A and B are shown apart, each in its own frame.
Chain A
Amino acid sequence: MNLAYISGCEAVSIAVKLARVDVVSAYPITPQTSIVEGIAKSIADGELQAQMVHVEGEHSAMSACVGAACVGARTFTATSGQGLAFMQEPVFWTAGLRLPIVMAVTNRSLLGPNTIFCDHQDTLSQRDSGWLQLYVENCQEALDSILIAYQLAELPQVQLPIMVCLDGFFLSHIYEPVAIPNQEVVDAFLPKQLAKNALLNPKDPKLLNVLAPPEYYTEFEYDKHISMKGAENLLTASFASFAESFGRNYSNLEADYLDGAEIVLLCMGTMAGTARSVVKELRAQGLPIGLIKVKTFRPFPVEVLAEMLSGKKAIGVLDRNISFGSSGALFQEVLRSINMLETRPHIIDFIVGLGGRDVSYYTIREAVKLLEVAIKEGTVQKNLVWLDIRLDLIQTWGLEI
């Protein structure tokens, strides 16, 4: 197979071209910028017949996408960090309007202090927006996930927007070999399905976004919830049809070395690759350890995860985010699955990789070490551990650890 050596951003912009998107509206922000540059080039070169709507900020970008999607255009945008925060108001509208917009988010911290680097704080701040969230590990998965996202979002049973989340710099700027799918195969995989509910047409006038009084509002939210939950199985079907067309397999929860594992690590994004290489090495040394990559964070596959975690002794959740005063967001989800189990495994939440700090081989080894201690001692001393924290700074600032 012919492999192109491209960055995560390029992979996304190629996916947008292959998906034959009609309207793109975005505002540049590091590290997302080259996604939009790539799309603009495709349009300028005549490879993509789409309209690029230039706007003065992310709020307008999403608003333009809402307008386009309301007349049945396949619509794309991309943003990152503060851009997503600025966009938040129409982000919620989009899900409420049931518009199948796909957005790539290059994960970046929410400020401050000022930073341009990666963690999952930005997309997780939109956890409850009604958007599906897929976290990807490598450039190939970034490309493939955009295609899968359009197929799924436009299904009449789903009709919800989807965020494809890729780690800023660690994925947006890494170069990797990527298989570029054939256009005809993509066309067959991705026929355009127009949104039914929110389709504006002057010949058939209708009113969108009317006031929903308390007598109606709950049911709209329930409907969104049911569609979102139902999307879990539909995603599995989409992954299967993708595998049939393109030969690459994905799933909501991607397990490695889970058979016979006593220790299980859970994580999202690029660190899954690094974690897999550590798990592989430790398995070869005889340590019964496995890995679950959470690809689909919304809807969260809580029952499937519970099944996977059944009978395990110690669970380590690597959270590239922190809900201040509580714990990492993935940890809270995993606890729901743990609550379904008869025997409760030890579980530790590891806060890692904030603001671009690398989640390295050593980070993951340290997490595994603490999980081994938990099994040996039969108890967990601390269930929230900040790994790789700089003790010199903590001491200088007079903080306790």
Chain B
Amino acid sequence: MIQIRFHGLGGQGVVSSAHLMGKAAIIGKMWANSLPFFTTSQRGGKVSAYTRIDVNPIDQHCYIYEPDILVLFHPLLLQDNDAMKGLKVNSKLLINTAGQRIFIPDPFTQDTYCLDADEISRSVLGIPVPSTVMVGALLRMIENITMDNLKNAVEQSFGQRQVAKNIKAIEKGFESCKLLELKGERLK
């Protein structure tokens, strides 16, 4: 089973990302579930969401405590204890960052992927809502879900006028996502 945990701010499409990944998995004949965790926060407040993907039906309905993949929609979340909890040695990390100086917590042996999803979503969608960009980037880290599965999920989830734009956002996210070569150090 792959367990993905998403953290971000209300309005960034964190929950939509979790559901899109789940839907793409189902389209790819896998099993999945995805669960948002809202507090009473509104736009700008902390939001997290969870996606499980497996080849077998999934029983668990609880939160994810030891994610295989941790997705941060904002680099500031690297300093958030709730967001960073439960990382394993082989967990992978995806961070939406505009290239600010970010500090990856130590000890840190995980593979860390980065992209400027805000900028991409601004240029492709016209708004800084990076959810589809981030799921596109996630494809780099997950083997069992194809680009076609994800595009199908977008076609089924969005209104007609939004589909083409968001498919482009996914492609851009996938292209722009880079594995950082330095680990456990200050990065530019």
How far does the Cβ of A128 sit from chain B's closest Cβ, in whole Å? 28
Q: Among A116, A173, A270, which residue has its beta carbon within 8 angstroms of that of B36?
A: A173
CA gap between A362 and B64 in the complex, in Å: 11
A105 at the interface (CB under 8 A from B): no
On whether the beta carbons of B59 and A273 are closer than 8 Å, the reply is: yes
Q: Which of B27-35, B76-84, B104-112, B130-138 contacts A (4 or more CB under 8 A)?
A: B27-35
Could you say which residues of chain A place their CB within 8 Å of the CB of B26? 3, 5, 177
On whether the beta carbons of A170 and B61 are closer than 8 Å, the reply is: yes
Could you say which residues of chain B place their CB within 8 Å of the CB of A276? 59
On whether the beta carbons of A138 and B32 are closer than 8 Å, the reply is: no
CA gap between A138 and B38 in the complex, in Å: 20
Known: A5-B23, A116-B40. A175 touches B35 (CB 8 A): yes
On whether the beta carbons of B22 and A271 are closer than 8 Å, the reply is: no
Could you say which residues of chain B place their CB within 8 Å of the CB of A277? 59-60
For chain A, the bracket of interface size reads 20 to 34
Interface residues of A in 343-362 (CB under 8 A from B): 358-362
Known: A173-B35, A175-B34. A360 touches B22 (CB 8 A): no
Interface residues of A in 263-302 (CB under 8 A from B): 270-271, 273-274, 276-277, 280
On whether the beta carbons of B33 and A176 are closer than 8 Å, the reply is: yes
Known: A3-B26, A5-B26. A361 touches B34 (CB 8 A): no
On whether the beta carbons of A5 and B61 are closer than 8 Å, the reply is: no
B19 at the interface (CB under 8 A from A): yes
Could you say which residues of chain A place their CB within 8 Å of the CB of B62? 170, 270-271, 274, 358-361
On whether the beta carbons of B61 and A362 are closer than 8 Å, the reply is: no
How far does the Cβ of B29 sit from chain A's closest Cβ, in whole Å? 9
Closest residue of A by beta carbon distance from B40:
A116
Closest residue of B by beta carbon distance from A140:
B57
Could you say which residues of chain B place their CB within 8 Å of the CB of A362? 65
A174 at the interface (CB under 8 A from B): yes
CA gap between A361 and B63 in the complex, in Å: 9
CA gap between A175 and B22 in the complex, in Å: 8
On whether the beta carbons of A177 and B61 are closer than 8 Å, the reply is: no
On whether the beta carbons of B63 and A358 are closer than 8 Å, the reply is: yes
CA gap between A398 and B35 in the complex, in Å: 36
CA gap between A173 and B61 in the complex, in Å: 11
CA gap between A277 and B31 in the complex, in Å: 15
Interface residues of B in 1-27 (CB under 8 A from A): 19, 22-23, 26
Known: A176-B58, A177-B31, A177-B32. 14 other contacts (CB 8 A): A5-B22, A5-B23, A138-B61, A169-B38, A174-B34, A174-B35, A175-B32, A177-B26, A270-B61, A270-B62, A273-B59, A276-B59, A358-B62, A361-B60
7 pairs of residues in contact across A and B, judged by CB atoms under 8 Å: A138-B61, A170-B35, A175-B32, A274-B60, A274-B61, A276-B59, A280-B59
Interface pairs A-B: 8 shortest CB-CB: A270-B61, A273-B59, A174-B35, A5-B23, A277-B59, A176-B33, A360-B62, A274-B62
- Residues of B at under 8 Å CB distance from A? 19, 22-23, 26, 31-38, 40, 58-63, 65
- Residues of A at under 8 Å CB distance from B? 3, 5, 116, 137-138, 167, 169-171, 173-177, 270-271, 273-274, 276-277, 280, 358-362
